[in-house]
Chains A and B, each alone.
Chain A
Amino acid sequence: MKILLAEDERDMSAAVTAILEHSGYEVDAVYNGLAAVEKARESTYDCMIFDIMMPKLDGIGALKQLRDSGDVTPVIMLTAKAEIDDRITGLDAGADDYLTKPFAMRELLARIRSMTRRTVSYTPTKLSVGAVDLDVEEQQLSCKNSISLSSKETKLMKFFMLNVGKALSTSMIFSHVWKNEADVDESVVWIYVSYLRKKLEAVNADIRIEGNKGEDFLLVER
């Protein structure tokens, strides 16, 4: 699990990072809102933690930009004790939860667990990129024509569509789509990417998956 932490107070950031890493999370730490937006656009996270008061771009501005661009990653906002208005604007801007400072680290960890467990149910059942639509429930991919997908192909296509323009490593894809499956290894990723490429071709799609066997893959609009 990968977390993006945007907190401008260096000591605070270092402490939170240490505890998160100790709890088994992978953490990217940034120190202002602009950097948070940039990081979120180039990488994929399971959860993001934003402080509200930050230089360059505050946490709410960063969150708004991400939500506007279609990023549905769960976000927890950190607010100062008296800032009720901040909490409201934060939630309205698309935050999933907030925590008032000072907070207990155990509570932050519990909230992260709760957020990431719910990710699945928050994802829309119909996704589109370019002129291509994916109906997650019907397992159908369509553009000029339509074609059926298997359940794994659907899951993989969904992961790509939720992360357009981001490089996804073979191991990241494997752990998202084939998590907890013992009888397969990472070579399955290449086979399924190959299936999807052919299927995108079959529906005359205006998007394509770039990348080579075993490396990073990237969904882009033509």
Chain B
Amino acid sequence: MTDDIYGKYRPALKAVLADIAARIEAYNEQEKAKNGEMAYEHLIYRIKSSDSMAEKCRRKGLPETSQSALLNIKDAIGIRIVCRFVDDIYLNVRYIKAMAGCRIVQEKDYIKHVKPNGYRSYHMILEFTEPYEDPAGANPGHFFAEIQIRTIAMDSWASLEHQMKYKHDVKNTDIIERELKRCADELAACDVSMQTIRNLICSEQ
């Protein structure tokens, strides 16, 4: 058992994650009350394990300190929001951008700009100002979080692709990659069709 890379900042990190999660759950309830439908299907979150974080520091040539883990690397807090429809992704993006004390550090729309392997998701790196001291000594401190927002179909593709890619020594890589991309495009086609059907139903009402 190695030392905790987050050191004395772990309680703050936990509190920040709990706060962000609570705010996401709150707007979900608000959306449900307003439109009768949830903004997302489910929400998962985690603090990157101390070991993975230490490994990431080494990979990036950074010293294994809480400074590196919380200031240089920006995904110690990871949140994933899984939605039912494509348009819901952008609804969540709007809610998150409207949160108080939240600054967007980086934003990547891999749905409009799909990765060459077929990966689709909306990624944001955010900086939250929270009433805890950060490793730079600031209080209120600045804490980073990575949020990934995607549909159930995008999520299932990503998780299956990840499993196939990393759990096995894959042969015929080219053809497998082409086939995985084809699956991604087919799932995306379903997402788009379901969204269209939902829009058609809504416009008839």
Chain A interface residues (CB < 8 Å from chain B): 140, 144-150, 191, 194-195, 197-199, 202, 204
Residues of B within 8 A of A199 (CB): 189, 192
Which of B114, B182, B189, B199 contacts A194, CB < 8 Å?
Answer: B199
Q: Which 9 A-B pairs have the closest CB atoms?
A: A145-B114, A148-B189, A148-B186, A198-B192, A198-B196, A148-B185, A194-B196, A202-B192, A147-B189
- Starting from the known contacts A145-B114, A148-B189, A195-B196, 13 additional A-B residue pairs (CB-CB under 8 Å) come to A140-B185, A145-B113, A147-B188, A147-B189, A148-B185, A148-B186, A194-B196, A197-B196, A198-B196, A199-B189, A202-B111, A202-B192, A204-B112
Residues of B within 8 A of A146 (CB): 114, 185
Known: A144-B113, A145-B113. A198 touches B186 (CB 8 A): no
Bound-complex Cα distance A145 to B186 (A): 12
Bound-complex Cα distance A145 to B185 (A): 9
Closest CB of chain A to B179's CB: distance in Å?
A: 12
Chain B interface residues (CB < 8 Å from chain A): 111-114, 182, 185-186, 188-189, 192-193, 195-196, 199-200
Bound-complex Cα distance A35 to B155 (A): 56
Closest CB of chain A to B33's CB: distance in Å?
A: 28
**Dominant secondary structure at the A interface:** mixed
Bound-complex Cα distance A127 to B182 (A): 19
Closest CB of chain A to B198's CB: distance in Å?
A: 11
Closest CB of chain B to A90's CB: distance in Å?
A: 43
Residues of B within 8 A of A202 (CB): 111, 188, 192
Bound-complex Cα distance A204 to B113 (A): 8
Closest CB of chain A to B149's CB: distance in Å?
A: 16
User: Which one of B185, B188, B199 has the greatest number of beta carbons of chain A within 10 Å?
Assistant: B185
Known: A144-B113, A145-B113, A204-B112. A195 touches B192 (CB 8 A): yes
Closest CB of chain B to A195's CB: distance in Å?
A: 5
Bound-complex Cα distance A202 to B112 (A): 7
Residues of A within 8 A of B112 (CB): 144-145, 204
Residues of B within 8 A of A204 (CB): 112-113
Residues of A within 8 A of B189 (CB): 147-150, 199
Which of A145, A147, A148, A194 contacts B200, CB < 8 Å?
Answer: A194
Query: CB-nearest residue of chain B relative to A145?
Result: B114
Residues of A within 8 A of B199 (CB): 194
